[in-house]
Amino acid sequence: MSKIKNIGLIAITLISFMKLSAQQKTSDQKLPNIIFILTDDLGYGDIGVFFQNQRKLEGKPYHQTPQLDKMAREGMMLTRHYVPAPVCAPSRASLLLGVHQGHAEVRNNQFDKALPDNHNMATVLKEAGYATAIVGKYGLQGTEGNSPGTWEAYPTKRGFDYFFGYVRHRDGHNHYPAHEAPERPPVELYSGTEEISDQLNGCYTTDLFTAMAKKWITEHRNNHAGQPFFMYLAYNTPHAGLQVASTPYPSGGGLNGGVKWLGKTGKYINTVTDTIDNYIHPDYNHSDWPDVQKRTASMIRRIDDGIGDVLQLLDDLGINEETVVIFTSDNGPHHESYGYGDYTPTFFDSYGPLDGTKRDTWEGGIRVPTIVRWPNQVPEDSQNDTPSAFYDWLPTFAQLAHVPAPAVTDGVSLLPLLTGKGSGRQGKVYVEYTVNGETPSYEAFHESHKGQKRGEMQVLFLDGYKGIRYNISSADDDFRIYDTRKDPGEENNLAGSNIYYKDLQKKLKRNVLQLRRPNLTAPRPYDSVPVPSVPVEGKLKNGLRYQLFNVTTPWVPDVSSLRHKADRKGTVEGVNTAVGKETENMVIAYEGYLSVPATGEYTFHFKTNGGAILRLHDATIIDADKGYKPGTAIQSTALLEEGYHPFKLVFKSGTDSEPDIRLTWSGSNFQEKIMNQHFFY
């Protein structure tokens, strides 16, 4: 009997040790908090370390961003980071969804259009156990409705636990929500689902949003210290009305200083006074500066003060080293003042050493100042000029949260680039956008850019070079080609200069058709061109390569982001689940080529009792993941050139029945049929 007791004690001790080890492992792998700070129309050249400090050395008018300069010294500057469109709505939608403009539902100038109910930053991080909050400007609620209950895509319906800020795009142009603004209608500002603009007398939004962010982070830390958080802090400055604060920024910062939340009607924050819109920072109160430029510099300095305040709070709360902070802007510098007089971004060269402004796809319109700070993880005082894009942040945050990236994303994780640990995939920078007007003829801009009619614009980075075309009339229009690492001003067009760039021209024209999908709300002049096939070397065999993973995931995953290797690999005749019939939690990635018999339209018919993402080349053809009801038949049509097309389908099994997929296709010359005999590897 004593032997049995001893064995029992040993077993209990062993189990306790195992539990303790597991807990220790979990503690060691604590998920970091994430704060993503987005400014509105802040130019690449508007930050000290990116350009303004250089102007100081040259004896030119300059403004200062000491807190952001400090943040850069404590982290990494991404010097070639790009937005997916040079205006806020499509840029912000692509940011949240993790897809480029060739797949986004919000394109061009579709302000206030509903953010689709698909995976996004908030839903992915919420699934990973994060608390999620947005403070500031949203603008993706949907054009139908007029309240949190009736707006289709109110932030709390898109994965955010809490929202405080402006819902409508136009409301974000006013920086004093309780007051009338020149040339602007009345606005609404929401706390949760309550409209509170009439309670915000004297509140300046930069201060208001900073104070609320500090309040939410502090309360979360005090009440839920074991839960990581995601804060999307979206300032609505320095864009639109050139309104400034009413007081100096309060001294100190963090818990004991800086802006503070008071929460009393008429005194919501500690910078409220009897007057508004009159504080010019003393560093900029030069008599020979235009008033609009004094205001712009003061607005940017106020953002800088707020960011320093938030960073101090992280230190005061003891969460500095466990919080990743990203700072950036949604597009290039603006030209508006809304009632304050003529304004252009030329006085401080807000576009930096680049040409182009907001609504341009030259570098100045799409390259944005970006800083990443994560103590002891991201190297201090470092820079990286690898081209990267807004839609890379969703897979980056997924990796930080230890969940796979959704297969529908167009981005790649930037974590290896940021930390120097591990290996990552090369991402793609792709931009498409259309708007009337032309590139400003600023003296600093290259002659080939001045007065350039915009129209349909498109950008693709390929093989290290930027391909760009303006006022596109057809898919045959040539790209201008630039080496933006050596030539940030895009002055030396390399297109056609030798055989290499002639071949690159052909590749650009093919690739931009292979990575995107047409959208009826934003027609392009190249929508009706067949997707080019690819040459295939060597002898092909019938079948598909597959990788099988026995893994539980909350969505159809990008298998390259899974945290373990495939359990089985091989080839299979076609798309079927027999290779994993004994696998309980199954993910299968099929890859190969689809042989298209003749150029024309082809319709893909799909049904599964699980979930799946199907891509041809890099274009998403079938999205049967979030919101897909298992067993529902869906279809999608693509115009394809005769020949071979890279095929990738990622399948995730359901939970209720034996895994099953049905994939067929039809064309102008044949009825619906199974595709097996048309797959090759």
3-state secondary structure at position 590 = strand
**Predicted local distance difference test score (pLDDT) of residue 574:** 87
How would residue 678 be classed by pLDDT, with cut points 50, 70 and 90? confident
Which pLDDT tens digit goes with each residue over 525-551?
A: 999 999 999 999 888 889 999 999 999
Query: How far is residue 72's CA from residue 407's CA, in Å, rounded to a whole number?
Result: 32
When the pLDDT of each residue in the chain is averaged and rounded to a whole number, the result is: 93
How would residue 29 be classed by pLDDT, with cut points 50, 70 and 90? low
Which pLDDT tens digit goes with each residue over 309-326?
A: 999 999 999 999 999 999
CA dihedral 256, 258, 263, 269 (to 10 degrees): 150
Which pLDDT tens digit goes with each residue over 598-652?
A: 999 999 999 999 999 999 999 999 999 999 999 999 999 999 999 999 999 999 9
For tokens 């096939």, the residue is 533
Note whether 362 and 381 are within 8 A (CB). Answer: no
Note whether 620 and 519 are within 8 A (CB). Answer: no
- Token representation of residue 22: 């597991």
How would residue 27 be classed by pLDDT, with cut points 50, 70 and 90? very low
**Predicted local distance difference test score (pLDDT) of residue 664:** 94
Q: How many CA atoms lie within 13 A of 136 on its CB side?
A: 24
Assess whether pLDDT exceeds 80 at residue 9.
no
Distances in Å between the Cα of 307 and the Cα atoms of 38, 44, 67, 249, 328 are: 11, 17, 7, 12, 12
- In the chain the first and final C-alpha atoms are separated, in Å, by 64
Assess whether pLDDT exceeds 90 at residue 298.
yes
Note whether 86 and 392 are within 8 A (CB). Answer: no
- Token representation of residue 350: 């807000």
Among residues 395, 397, 394, 456, the alpha carbon closest in space to that of 431 is found at 456
Which pLDDT tens digit goes with each residue over 361-405?
A: 999 999 999 999 999 999 999 999 999 999 999 999 999 999 999
Residue type, 308: G
User: How buried is residue 587: exposed, middle or buried, by Cβ count under 10 Å (0-12/13-18/19+)?
Assistant: buried
Task: Determine the average pLDDT of the residues in 575-593.
Answer: 85
- Token representation of residue 435: 């708007």
Measured in residues, the chain has a length of: 681
HEC profile of 427-459: CCCEEEEEEEEECCCCCCCCCCCCCCEEEEEEE
Task: Determine the average pLDDT of the residues in 296-301.
Answer: 98
**Predicted local distance difference test score (pLDDT) of residue 11:** 37
**Predicted local distance difference test score (pLDDT) of residue 656:** 67
- Token representation of residue 255: 């818990």
Which pLDDT tens digit goes with each residue over 444-477?
A: 999 999 999 999 999 999 999 999 999 999 999 9
Assess whether pLDDT exceeds 70 at residue 176.
yes
- Token representation of residue 637: 């049509």
Which pLDDT tens digit goes with each residue over 56-115?
A: 999 999 999 999 999 999 999 999 999 999 999 999 999 999 999 999 999 999 999 999
How would residue 18 be classed by pLDDT, with cut points 50, 70 and 90? very low
Note whether 378 and 372 are within 8 A (CB). Answer: yes
